Structure 1
Amino acid sequence: MTCGACASRIESALHATDGVSAAHVNFAAGRASVTYDADLLSEADLLDRISGLGYRATPGELRAVGPEPATTSATALGAALVLAATSMLISSVSALRFTGWEWLVLGITMPVVLVSGLVLHRPGWLAVRRGHATMDTLVSLGSLIAWGWSAVVTVAGFDGHVYFDTAAVIVAVVLGGRRLEARARRRAGDAIGALVGLSAGAVRLPDGRDVPPSQLAVGMTFLVRPGERIAADGVVTEGHSSVDTSILTGEAVPREVAPGDEVTGGMLNTHGALTVEAHRVGADGTLAQVVRLVSEALSRKAPIQRLADRVSAVFVPAVVVVAAATLAAWLLVGPAGEAVSFAVAVLIVACPCALGLATPAAFMAGSGRGARMGVIIRGPDALEAARRIDVVALDKTGTVTEGRLEVVAVEAAEGIDQTAMLAAAAALEARSEHPVAEAIVRAAGDGEGRLAADWPVVAEFRNLPGFGVTGRLAAAVGAADAACDRGTVTVGRAELFAQVPAALARAAADHSAAGRTLVFVGDGGSAQGFLALADRVKPSSAAAVAAWRRAGVEVVLLSGDNGAAATQAGRQVGADRVLAELTPAGKVAEIERLQAAGRRVAMVGDGVNDAPALAAADVGVAVGTGADVAAEASDLTLVGGDLRRAVDALNLARRTLGTIRGNLFWAFAYNTAAIPLAAAGLLRPEIAAAAMGLSSLFVLGNSLRLNRFAGLRP
């Protein structure tokens, strides 16, 4: 497929096929999704139907299947641009001309128009054979007529103007824009490949054999070593460890697992060896279902329907008819050379250079401005959808919040020094790699996880899987003595302590209600205090939400975290609604519910769990500090975690689309006004070429105005 019209044509043909109940063709992703009656049709019948239209299709699998790569290499494109620029320089600067200079320019432009331009000529004329016209037809016709007329004038020695440079510039510029768009489209299916990459490699069985995950069956047991991903959904039968659950929830805190706990395929085992009994394998597993959600969402997402392609279906035949009529009319009243000149002027002035530039020039300018602001527009598909966004759905962890735990409060019982208690807890937690432990060490140390030299020295350290750590402080210096009295200190969950003073219990209840993680510290079975940890809301989040609400956009917080933590974060940033404890499918369901109600939804997220929602939303915005898979499933990507850039991203997308529409309007208006003048003999071919050049300059100048786009100030 070479344009959005191709996708529309294939989709219409499939819809018209007996036995097909639904069909959708995604030009950006190079994928087609078809629902059909297997009693009436086979997969081979559908492939034959598509092949009969002149396109090639292959059966799809649940993996990334992107469109074909750009057909013009960077080297070939660079050569075409250099040759086109050289021909324009010779043709425009009289001092560089010499006797027979036209022959030199003919030779320079021949490989550009006739060789590099083949990627435009072939599909353009194949489209004509199938009874329709596309942008390729416009570009091919204009460049070939301009070059062919010039070749006739040069070879036959006629007294006429040559347009070799015009033809070469048309081809080179359009190829450059086409390559840019093709490169963006080629990555449309990468989200699925990135998700599949989260699956485990070889799986170790209890007998020591390594087998591929595809050989796992329900009821089989397998081993998961530290640092490995869990191969299938199942239940832990042996071992204790922490697993990174961000694939499902996006949360920063790994979950402690022990025998009897359920685990999900794709989760990362952070430490400790586990034995797992498989309960759901292959396509039935949670990871495979997430992959399927992304695949289905990408298939549903319609590409932007190029306005130029819609108009060209009528515009090209009309221009040819007008040019032929001009030739015939002037042959009746004047010399043949003059008639040909006026007919060529019609084709030249109607040449779609401005049309070819309208979208890629604005897209390049918008992309360049966005890159300088930390916003990446991954393709033109997001632009049209961004214009109508009236709901923004936000992930919590890593998007609204910092994505890592910090100690936000230290509560100590009466007579216990808070600083000493924190130092004692940090001395023990320094031996653990758990994110909670790292946060405690950062809070007590220098911010980088380094402890002071005079802190307690730990002996007899013991890990209590799922509960905490304990150890004897063999030596203590300074204030740390008061907290631990050089005895055994325990750090962890409240269940480790037989007694929790009433005042501490009340304070703990308040912090728990705010969604904070609590770590108790004590000795001798009695809690002496606790540390409250939370994932802090980013300073920029409230400003971003306020900007959206001022614009009349509803803001919804969608989180996999517990209700208390999500509600607290939503209250801090000013979200209109908060939905908590959502799975990836739950986030997709909420987005689809909003879309069914006629809303246009933008999803902003950063984690693997956000990928299906990012793909299902009308516009997906990935926070650059998150997982690569989130970025691959998105339409817009933020470099960095400042949520204000998400506001800028949507605003810039709207502005870029407005510029594209303005460019197309000018290009069509120019042709509408110029063609009658050329047909009337009021525009000589050279003036027509100049007018065409000016129209292109206008389009470029209008696009460059995007460089003045200003976002929210930090």
Structure 2
Amino acid sequence: MSNRQPTMERQSLSISGMTCAACAARIEKVVSKMEGVHEINVNFALGKGDVTFNHTTTPVEQITDNIKRLGFDARVETNLFAKSASTSAECNRLRNRFLLSACFTIPLLWTMVNHFHFTSGIWIPVLFLNPWFQFAMATFVQFVIGGPFYTSAYRALRHKSANMDVLVVLGTSAAYLYSHYVVFHPNATAIGQHPPLYFETSAMIITIVLLGKWLEAMAKKRTLHALEQLHALQAEEADVLRGRTVVRVPLAEVLPGDTIVIKPGAKIPADGTVITGWSAIDESLLTGESQPVDKHSGDTVIGGTVNLNGTLHVKAEKIGSHSALSHMIQLVVQAQHTKPSIQRHADDIAELFVPIVMSFAAITFAAWEFVFAPGDFGEALEHAISVLVIACPCAIGLATPTSVLVGSGKAAKKGILFKDGKHLEMLQQIDTILLDKTGTITEGKPKLTDYIAVGSIDEMTLLRYAAAAEVHSEHPLSRAVVAEAEAKCLAVPPASGFQAFPGYGIRASVEGKDVLIGTAQWLRKDGVKVHDMAEAVKFESQGKTVLYVAIQGRLAGLLAARDSIKVTSVQAIDTLRKWGVDVVMVTGDQERTALTIAQEVGIRSVHAGSLPDDKVKVLQKLQQAGRKVAMVGDGVNDAPALAAADIGVAIGTGADIAVEAADVNLVRGHLTGLTDAIRISQKTMANIKQNLSFALIYNVLAIPLAVIGWLEPWMAGTAMALSSISVVSNALRLQHSK
């Protein structure tokens, strides 16, 4: 029997035709029941869906066809930024529909002054009071401009669901058809009485709903601005060195290994390493850092950043969809597609809201028709229409996704990437943070400060053998050893049989001799006699990391390296402690070194000599005690703990495996990015709660007012539109928050 797991594929869909959160909930409910579909998240605010499915049993075309059968248009999203153009087009369409509707509604609105004593003296053209004129104006608005509402409502009801359009159609149709009946049956009213027409009510509701939709579309367009800014960073062409000639080619034709020539003022088209040249690079739009960063031979550059002055020759390494910028864009979009748990609760409410409101409207009509105003069909109808219109769940559906959209976009501008909407929600709940030392608290660029030979071997030979063994390792300490050998112009021999043991050290064969470099405990375990050295104690008390070197099973000496502490680490740790967050250091370094660094940055709890498994055990022990734990690291040995934490936070300058295992990526590589991320999480969640509270309180207060007759239908329509606009406007405040 085969134990192979089904191949899951993740696909973004563009979904149009949704009018409220109930539509999104309906799509999720139907598609999630399809065979082979693992998960689907539909974002009403963005008009997008994110589906995970088994493509061998359920092709994506089958999923889009099923969505189309529900009455919506769905297609595979091939361009992440096509939504911006479609949103602009939708804004224009809604604006034109609103203006046309307003032109036909204004004459009907003018007649409303005749309904009130204090405005009865205002002049009204006689034509506007003609029932047949009103009938003609209202008919155009109801069925030509309002036609899409009927289409959407029909599709929803045909599939046994109800959305906002059902409420709009029911309310406006009731007012229109009653008025239609009065026009064609004038004898139905008492002799001498003016026929009670409600054409202005139906037309005004449609016009106001269109105004609300237009303003919502414009607000959504603004929320896509962060994505557009990221997209604009991507270069379309590159100057590539072909032989001795520089040729300008489309970015798609650039291959890994090509030498790219980047002139002053040009965008860097791909991730790579500087071969020759020196320049200052503006990384502000990508990392949030305002100060330019100096780059020279051997330094890495990121595609999308701007070369300010000198000319650089860069070896292209990651291009197009593999670049850091493309990965950043994908993460931002993914975070905006997925839903925090708070939004799922809102979706559940929205799905039940429409049928509940329809029941309330029916009860309201019956109460006024038979109890409060017996026989006054017109008044009972008015109050029922008010209930139908005011209770549309648009604001509830927009409350969460617009805040997540703006919050994740704000984070991206500061170089903070959330992989999922739920991580944006969870980060502000963290009460304990575990920090790795090297590359997280420190710069991750240690320098070899001391090396002492033991026995017959001299210091230069010790350094030569150590560099030969370390040359194949990517660890920062290994690079420090190799850099020192290069600075001394030593002839480093080739090594073979290289092996790395995370948390312990490395092993290699140099000139036929077995070389071990690592901790004293590891060398002892391998049979090497390692005695306590006063120099080692001294170096460790100075915050230096000590590596022991053994050649052919005998201790040959030790190496000491010092890694400078990031200035921002002290500031970030101090901020976290003021917020009441427990900060713990977990490092594979020696205890004395770890304690020295911890004291310098203000950390009181330290777990030194921690192997990858030990870090996970420390983390799990805290979780079992009921703590919400975040792990922050950058190395390969941090990956297990990053994956096991409630929230894994990777320093963006770290190893790829650490970045992949984490839930949040700090592109800047500084711990102040962590405090910024927590603050953005706090503000976004506070914004979501404000939105939901407003939307729910609005409905709780407004529906009873409509039931008792304190709200005219046009007032209800205006209030409904304003509630959605206010929710989106409140979410947009996040763009300007500090």
TM-score tier (shorter): 0.5 to 0.7
5 Å-filtered alignment, 1:566-577, equals none
Q: Which residue of 1 aligns with 2:315?
A: 277
2:41 counterpart SS class: strand
Deviation per residue, 1:553-600 (Å, 9 max, x gap)? 86999xxxxx999999999xxxx99987869xx99x97995469xxxx
Q: Which residue of 2 aligns with 1:152?
A: 181
2:324 is the alignment partner of 1:286: yes
2:51 is the alignment partner of 1:34: yes
* From 164, 188, 209, the counterpart of 1:174: 209
* From 256, 260, 275, the counterpart of 1:237: 275
- Residue pair 2:391, 2:720 contacting (<8 A) in 1 also: yes
2:307 counterpart SS class: strand
Whole-angstrom distance in 2 between the partners of 1:218 and 1:133: 53
- Residue pair 1:29, 1:185 contacting (<8 A) in 2 also: yes
Rate the CA distance shift 1:119–1:545 in 2: closer, same or farther, 3 A: farther
Rate the CA distance shift 1:389–1:645 in 2: closer, same or farther, 3 A: closer
- Residue pair 1:566, 1:578 contacting (<8 A) in 2 also: no
Q: Which residue of 2 aligns with 1:220?
A: 258
Whole-angstrom distance in 1 between the partners of 2:726 and 2:59: 52
Once the two structures are overlaid, the 10-residue window that deviates more, 250-259 or 172-181, is 250-259
- Residue pair 2:97, 2:145 contacting (<8 A) in 1 also: yes
Q: Which residue of 1 aligns with 2:67?
A: 50
Q: Which residue of 1 aligns with 2:94?
A: 73
Once the two structures are overlaid, the 10-residue window that deviates more, 292-301 or 308-317, is 308-317
Whole-angstrom distance in 1 between the partners of 2:646 and 2:399: 31
1:205 counterpart SS class: strand
2:18 is the alignment partner of 1:6: no
Whole-angstrom distance in 1 between the partners of 2:135 and 2:571: 64
**In structure 1, what residue type is equivalent to 2:335?**
A
2:390 is the alignment partner of 1:353: yes
**In structure 2, what residue type is equivalent to 1:141?**
L
**In structure 1, what residue type is equivalent to 2:172?**
S
1:236 counterpart SS class: strand
**In structure 2, what residue type is equivalent to 1:134?**
N
- Residue pair 2:273, 2:300 contacting (<8 A) in 1 also: yes
* From 347, 354, 357, the counterpart of 1:312: 354
2:238 is the alignment partner of 1:203: yes
**In structure 1, what residue type is equivalent to 2:29?**
S
Q: Which residue of 1 aligns with 2:219?
A: 184
- Residue pair 1:226, 1:273 contacting (<8 A) in 2 also: yes
Structure 2 unmatched runs, 5+: 1-17, 190-194, 404-419, 432-541, 543-562, 585-593, 604-627, 650-658, 666-672
2:94 is the alignment partner of 1:94: no
2:702 is the alignment partner of 1:667: yes
Whole-angstrom distance in 1 between the partners of 2:95 and 2:598: 48
2:308 counterpart SS class: strand
What is the Cα deviation at residue 252 of structure 1?
3.9
**In structure 1, what residue type is equivalent to 2:233?**
L
Deviation per residue, 1:463-514 (Å, 9 max, x gap)? xxxxxxxxxxxxxxxxxxxxxxxxxxxxxxxxxxxxxxxxxxx9xxxxx977
**In structure 2, what residue type is equivalent to 1:293?**
L
Whole-angstrom distance in 2 between the partners of 1:301 and 1:187: 20
Q: Which residue of 2 aligns with 1:605?
A: none
Rate the CA distance shift 1:698–1:273 in 2: closer, same or farther, 3 A: closer
- Residue pair 2:629, 2:645 contacting (<8 A) in 1 also: no
**In structure 1, what residue type is equivalent to 2:95?**
A
Rate the CA distance shift 1:36–1:153 in 2: closer, same or farther, 3 A: same
What is the Cα deviation at residue 211 of structure 1?
0.7
RMSD between aligned alpha carbons? Answer: 6.0
Once the two structures are overlaid, the 10-residue window that deviates more, 643-652 or 148-157, is 643-652
Q: Which residue of 2 aligns with 1:260?
A: 298
Instruction: State percent identity of aligned pairs.
Output: 23
Counting matched residue pairs gives: 502
What is the Cα deviation at residue 289 of structure 1?
1.7
1:24 counterpart SS class: strand
Structure 1 unmatched runs, 5+: 367-381, 394-505, 507-511, 517-533, 558-562, 602-611, 621-629, 631-640, 675-687
* From 142, 153, 158, the counterpart of 2:171: 142
What is the Cα deviation at residue 138 of structure 1?
0.6
Rate the CA distance shift 1:65–1:4 in 2: closer, same or farther, 3 A: farther
* From 375, 381, 391, the counterpart of 1:344: 381
1:305 counterpart SS class: helix
**In structure 1, what residue type is equivalent to 2:113?**
L
- Residue pair 1:15, 1:23 contacting (<8 A) in 2 also: yes
Whole-angstrom distance in 2 between the partners of 1:543 and 1:225: 40
Whole-angstrom distance in 1 between the partners of 2:725 and 2:19: 26
Instruction: Please give the TM-score of this superposition, normalised by the length of structure 2.
Output: 0.53
Deviation per residue, 1:338-369 (Å, 9 max, x gap)? 58557735643533236479779999xx9xxx
Q: Which residue of 1 aligns with 2:452?
A: none
Whole-angstrom distance in 1 between the partners of 2:255 and 2:68: 39
Deviation per residue, 1:412-438 (Å, 9 max, x gap)? xxxxxxxxxxxxxxxxxxxxxxxxxxx
- Residue pair 1:120, 1:140 contacting (<8 A) in 2 also: yes
Deviation per residue, 1:501-536 (Å, 9 max, x gap)? xxxxx9xxxxx97755xxxxxxxxxxxxxxxxx999
- Residue pair 1:567, 1:578 contacting (<8 A) in 2 also: no
Rate the CA distance shift 1:355–1:232 in 2: closer, same or farther, 3 A: closer
Q: Which residue of 1 aligns with 2:152?
A: 123
- Residue pair 1:224, 1:276 contacting (<8 A) in 2 also: yes
2:76 counterpart SS class: coil
Deviation per residue, 1:140-169 (Å, 9 max, x gap)? 111111022112213432324222222223
1:138 counterpart SS class: helix
Q: Which residue of 1 aligns with 2:517?
A: none
Q: Which residue of 2 aligns with 1:299?
A: 337
- Residue pair 1:663, 1:699 contacting (<8 A) in 2 also: no
Rate the CA distance shift 1:217–1:360 in 2: closer, same or farther, 3 A: closer
- Residue pair 2:353, 2:393 contacting (<8 A) in 1 also: no
Q: Which residue of 1 aligns with 2:526?
A: none
What is the Cα deviation at residue 665 of structure 1?
0.9
**In structure 2, what residue type is equivalent to 1:86?**
W
Rate the CA distance shift 1:94–1:298 in 2: closer, same or farther, 3 A: same
Whole-angstrom distance in 2 between the partners of 1:391 and 1:291: 26
What is the Cα deviation at residue 98 of structure 1?
7.8
Whole-angstrom distance in 2 between the partners of 1:294 and 1:107: 49
